[in-house]
Amino acid sequence: MRKKLVAGNWKMHGALQQNSTLLARITAAASGLACEVAVFPPYPYLAQAQLALAGSVVALGAQSVSEHASGVFTGEVSASMLAEFGCRYVLVGHSERRALFGETEIVVAAKFEAAQSSALVPILCVGETLGQREAGKTVTVIARQLAAVLERVGVAAMASAVVAYEPVWAIGTGVTASPAQAQEVHAAIRAQVAALDAGVAEGLRILYGGSVKPQNAVELFGQSDIDGGLIGGAALVADDFLKICLAAN
Ligand code: 13P
């Protein structure tokens, strides 16, 4: 049985007071939840979150990481720095990073490798645009995004990683993939990994992200290959985020 994971990606939202209230609500509720819970604040708030989460079951993650270990890379943050601030997870290849910051499949694979070299668990985000879906290319696009990472790190690396399927057209739009649409892609991702290593595929957690709300979470998380969610907007509202966590119970 794969333990479900509900991950809250705060994106570029937050402020000290607001974070403090949200983190207090989440930590107070988390010990009663059956799923694993993780929060992904912006970099400057990692230290605040590390303190707030100390002694709780809630895990900490970062939204991105440099592919480099250290050096003259102004503005970048390395995997070892994230590890020092208590991060367990890091997102790599989020569609906003790919689309707005020019992260190529090669860069995403390098970030995945850098994360694991500091014992962080990468959450590899993959997803198709609306145009790609309408052209019938969804599974091909996702397969290529996954293959770029598999070619670099090998299938064994997926044993300490998570995949998140986030259709670009569903992110922040209020439009959610139907449970059947999501399940189809999740099953294809698992099959691609299973073709290389059935055991790794069986243990691999594949999250769904894109307009997950309390109203649709139960049905999404009920699909056989959906192992939790990567939550954006609803992760900023304690009541909604906790209802989504309950849906993964
Ligand atoms: P929304 O839940 O706001 O659609 O965002 C999804 C997402 O991108 C999480 O990483």
User: Cα of 70 to ligand 1 centre, how many Å?
Assistant: 30
The domains of the chain, with CATH numbers, are: 59-230 (3.20.20.70)
**Ligand 1: which of 212, 215, 240, 244 to mutate, judged by most atoms within 8 Å of the beta carbon?**
212
Atom of ligand 1 nearest to the CA of 91: 10
Phi, psi of 182 (to 5 degrees): -65, -45
Q: What is the pLDDT of residues 57-92, one digit of tens each?
A: 999 999 999 999 999 999 999 999 999 999 999 999
Question: Is the distance from the beta carbon of residue 210 to the nearest atom of ligand 1 less than 6 Å?
Answer: yes
Question: Is the distance from the beta carbon of residue 166 to the nearest atom of ligand 1 less than 6 Å?
Answer: yes
Question: Is the distance from the beta carbon of residue 172 to the nearest atom of ligand 1 less than 6 Å?
Answer: yes
Of 94, 96, 128, 186, which residue is the catalytic one?
A: 94
94 is catalytic: yes
166 is catalytic: yes
Decide if pLDDT at 151 tops 90: yes
Decide if pLDDT at 111 tops 90: yes
2 DSSP assignment: P
Average pLDDT of every residue of the chain: 97
Residue 40: both structure tokens together: 């992904």
Dist. CA 153–CA 109, nearest whole Å: 8
Phi, psi of 175 (to 5 degrees): -90, 125
Q: Average pLDDT in the 158-168 region?
A: 98
Decide if pLDDT at 1 tops 90: no
Question: Is the distance from the beta carbon of residue 233 to the nearest atom of ligand 1 less than 6 Å?
Answer: yes
Query: Is the Cβ–Cβ distance between 208 and 164 less than 8 Å?
Result: yes
pLDDT at position 105: 97
154 DSSP assignment: -
Q: For residue 28, give the nearest of 64, 2, 52 by alpha carbon.
A: 52
CA distances from 244 to 4, 119, 122, 249 (A): 11, 28, 22, 9
Question: Which residues in 63-131 belong to E strands, given as ranges?
Answer: 87-92, 121-126
Report the percent of the chain where pLDDT is more than 70: 100
